[in-house]
Structure 1
């Protein structure tokens, strides 16, 4: 079993696309015409992240964005350092959590109110 995709409803579609493409290196790819703006972001020819533009008129029980966070595991410390460099060059704020009790480093990026991306790498 593996993660097929995460769908994120965001009020800041362009900023969110920019983060995933310019910082994390995903690529824009084909997306069906759903009648609402969005983007599919690919990794290794697979649509890993689906983005949907938040729109008005949602049912009262639904709020946007409708995901607390997604976590992406980074392969190694070299890739980790490259992502931090790109975050800095794009002026994107982030927080790093390191704990002696955990074998992983965690980095948190808030892309929009209520939309957080966690990156993880083994220490």
Structure 2
């Protein structure tokens, strides 16, 4: 089994979409013609994040829960540094914490009300770099 996708429901789709494209590096791609607005964002050719508008009635009359956050794993020191540079260039505040037992570092960003994104990398990719 593998994770297929995550759906983020937000009242501010434009902000969430912009962050996930410009900072996280996802690409907008084809989406089926649903009866509601939204976007599908791709990573490595797969639609991994679906964005849908928050409405009172939900989608197709179903009440939708919100997602707490979605996490992306950063695989190298260079990718981590590039992420920090993109966040700094856009003056996006973030919180970094370490998970010593796992030898991982987490970086959290709130991109819209109720929508958070986490980036995770190995501690070795962060050693010697400054974070804010």
TM over 0.5: yes
Q: CA deviation at 1:80?
A: 0.9
CA RMSD of aligned residues (A): 1.9
Q: Could you state the TM-score of these two structures normalised by the residue count of structure 1?
A: 0.88
Query: Residue 69 in 1 paired to residue 69 in 2?
Result: yes
- Aligned twin of 1:26: 26
Q: 1:51-74, CA deviations, whole angstroms, 9 ceiling, x for partnerless residues?
A: 101123349x9466x111111111
Secondary structure at the aligned position of 1:72 is classed as strand
Gaps of 5+ in 1: none
Q: Could you state the TM-score of these two structures normalised by the residue count of structure 2?
A: 0.83
Q: CA deviation at 1:121?
A: 0.1
Q: In structure 1, what is the Cα distance between the partners aligned to 2:16 and 2:73?
A: 18
Gaps of 5+ in 2: 124-132
Moved over 2 A (4+): 56-59, 61-64, 98-102
Structure of greater Rg? 2
